[in-house]
Structure 1
Amino acid sequence: MTLLAAVDLGLKAWAGTALADGQSVDLGLIQLRLAFNPGVAFSLGADLPAGVVLGVTGLIVVALAVFAWRATRTVTLPARLALAAVLAGAVANLVDRAADGVVTDYLHSGWFPTFNLADVFITAGAAALVLVSLTGSDRAED
Structure 2
Amino acid sequence: MAFGSFNHHRNPGPMADINVTPMVDVMLVLLVIFILAAPMFTGSVQLELPKAQAPATPSAPAATVTLSIDGKGKIFWNNDPVDQAALEARFVTAAKLDPQPELQLRADKDTRYEIVAQVMAAAQSNGLTKLGFVTDPKKEQK
Q: Which TM-score band (shorter chain)?
A: under 0.3
Scaled by the length of structure 1, what TM-score is found?
0.22
Name whichever structure is richer in helix by fraction: 1
Q: Which has the higher contact order (CA 8 A, sep 6+)?
A: 1
